[in-house]
């Protein structure tokens, strides 16, 4: 399939209108190749909303690998990361990290591996890291998001990293196919969502509230200079005070557009803390902008013991302060988990239960679903989840209602858990 220059030019305009991508560094032959590959799938109509997404899947703009640019990760390991963990511990909440243009998940997985290492150095087991650090990756390519969710990485994106950075958390799965798999404890720390940088930046603090670290590296180089500067400004102004935004070194000049204070790594900047800004309500959500967002989902109470050491002490259920948007997301994941469970799709039910717990690690009903279905694939771990849940219910009033479970009380939930634990263990 040979495309005439006017057709390629038209596709460039559509990609820029939809995603902001001017593709300054790509030749017409590369753009034409992506269009031809997308059209070969049977949907050659550019007016189809799915067509441009297929084109984005095939554009050669996803060159990423684990721990790309050692300097960033050294700075996060030695300076910025421990400070973020300390700040989050003092506020009794998890560290939250956002990776924009995350490709196949290489950057989010790198951040998760690094922060898990910091926690383990402070005595926190790696299996608990998902409660203390949460990483969200956003990319406009459905194919790349699907790969990230599967935790599958191509060999070249693993082998370019220094082995000591990987900490044994990436294992070769298929040598012939060149496929590697991310450790489950790392995948549990990460979530991946389809998203458009233009939309995220345009929503400002409504999209960026609550994040300690926003990574937007090697993304704005594909935008026209004026558009890149505009988006950088929106990202910088959308941060909570004290939050950090990181561009790549070639994009470091864009920090000034957002009024950010440069930090110790080239391309990293911080939103000035201490500036009082009146709270405002966005889509029904109160966002406190005088020192950070009003965090929606409750998290385990933590005790600060050292630079990067935190010990969970809370066993309570979902608190009334849980934001309605978080509750809606939890309810959705529980609903889908139950549908999968009723259809016998245990793995899918587990995935949705874990997604619900991502929003609130203490959510009682989500923990029951996780334990109930985890028993089927990992009996010991499933029983451990249920025993921990039973201990949590002991600290609550039996008549208290269980969130996301109409008509179910804490006492009734505890009875269900006891029945599950009373079942004979499979040999």
The neighbouring-strand residues paired with 180 are: 153, 172
What is the Cα–Cα distance from 259 to 184, expressed in whole angstroms?
38
Q: Give domain status of residue 295, yes or no.
A: no
- The answer on 142 and 120 residing in a single domain is yes
For residue 205, the model assigns a pLDDT of: 93
Total structural domains in the chain? 3
Q: What angle do CA 160, 115, 299 make, to 5 degrees?
A: 145
Sheet strand arrangement including 179-182: 152-154, 179-182, 170-174
Q: How confident is the model at residue 300 (pLDDT cuts 50, 70, 90)?
A: very low
State the CATH number of the domain containing residue 233: 3.40.50.150
**Model pLDDT for residues 341-378, shown as the tens digit of each residue:** 767 788 777 887 777 776 677 788 888 888 888 887 78
- The answer on 171 and 251 residing in a single domain is yes
Per-residue pLDDT at 308 exceeds 60: no
- The answer on 87 and 28 residing in a single domain is no
By residue range, what is the domain housing residue 82? 70-270
**Model pLDDT for residues 18-35, shown as the tens digit of each residue:** 665 556 556 677 666 766
- The answer on 162 and 25 residing in a single domain is no
Mean pLDDT of 281-291: 31
Q: How confident is the model at residue 324 (pLDDT cuts 50, 70, 90)?
A: low
Mean pLDDT of 116-144: 92
Q: Give domain status of residue 222, yes or no.
A: yes
- The answer on 241 and 101 residing in a single domain is yes
Q: Give domain status of residue 416, yes or no.
A: yes
What is the Cα–Cα distance from 321 to 9, expressed in whole angstroms?
51
Count of Cβ atoms closer than 10 Å to residue 301 Cβ: 15
What is the Cα–Cα distance from 374 to 324, expressed in whole angstroms?
28
Q: Give this prediction's pTM.
A: 0.58
- The answer on 21 and 116 residing in a single domain is no
Token pair for 350:
């587990």
Q: Give domain status of residue 279, yes or no.
A: no
**Model pLDDT for residues 31-57, shown as the tens digit of each residue:** 667 667 667 766 556 556 567 666 655
Q: Residue 304: enclosing H or E segment and its boundaries?
A: strand 302-306
What is the Cα–Cα distance from 415 to 185, expressed in whole angstroms?
30
């Amino acid at each position: 399939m040979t495309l005439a220059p006017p057709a390629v030019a038209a596709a460039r305009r559509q990609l820029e209108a939809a995603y902001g991508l001017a593709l300054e560094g790509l030749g017409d032959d590369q753009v034409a190749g992506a269009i031809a590959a997308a059209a070969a799938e049977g949907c050659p109509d550019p007016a189809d909303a799915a067509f441009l997404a297929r084109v984005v899947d095939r554009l050669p703009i996803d060159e990423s690998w684990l721990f790309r640019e050692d300097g960033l990760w050294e700075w996060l390991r030695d300076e910025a990361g421990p400070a973020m963990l300390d700040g989050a511990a003092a506020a009794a909440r998890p560290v939250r990290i956002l990776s924009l243009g995350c490709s196949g998940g290489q950057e989010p997985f790198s951040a998760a591996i690094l922060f898990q290492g910091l926690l383990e150095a402070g005595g926190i087991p790696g299996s608990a890291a998902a409660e203390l650090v949460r990483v969200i990756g956003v990319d406009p390519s459905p194919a790349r998001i699907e790969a990230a969710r599967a935790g599958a990485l191509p060999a070249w994106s693993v082998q370019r990293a220094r082995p000591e950075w990987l900490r044994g958390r990436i294992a070769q799965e298929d040598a012939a196919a060149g496929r590697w798999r991310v450790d489950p404890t790392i995948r549990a720390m990460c979530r991946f969502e389809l998203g458009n940088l233009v939309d995220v930046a345009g929503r400002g603090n409504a999209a960026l509230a609550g994040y300690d670290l926003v990574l937007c590296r090697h993304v704005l180089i594909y935008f026209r200079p004026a558009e890149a500067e505009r988006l950088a400004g929106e990202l910088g102004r959308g941060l909570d005070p004290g939050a950090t935004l990181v561009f790549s070194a070639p994009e470091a000049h864009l920090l000034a557009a957002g009024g950010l204070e440069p930090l110790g790594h080239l391309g990293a900047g911080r939103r000035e803390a201490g500036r009082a800004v009146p709270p405002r309500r966005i889509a029904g959500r109160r966002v406190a902008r005088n020192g950070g967002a009003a965090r929606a989902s409750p998290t385990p109470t933590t005790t600060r013991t050292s630079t990067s050491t935190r010990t969970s002490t809370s066993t309570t259920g979902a608190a009334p302060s849980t934001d309605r948007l978080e509750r809606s997301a939890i309810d959705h994941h529980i609903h889908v988990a139950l549908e999968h469970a009723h259809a016998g799709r245990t793995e899918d039910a587990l995935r949705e239960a874990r997604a619900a717990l991502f929003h609130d690690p203490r959510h009682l009903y989500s923990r029951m679903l996780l334990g109930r279905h985890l028993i089927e694939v990992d009996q010991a771990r499933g029983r451990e989840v249920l025993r921990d849940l039973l201990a949590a219910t002991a600290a609550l009033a039996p008549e208290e209602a269980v969130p996301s479970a109409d008509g179910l009380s804490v006492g009734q939930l505890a009875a269900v858990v006891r029945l599950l634990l009373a079942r004979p263990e499979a040999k």
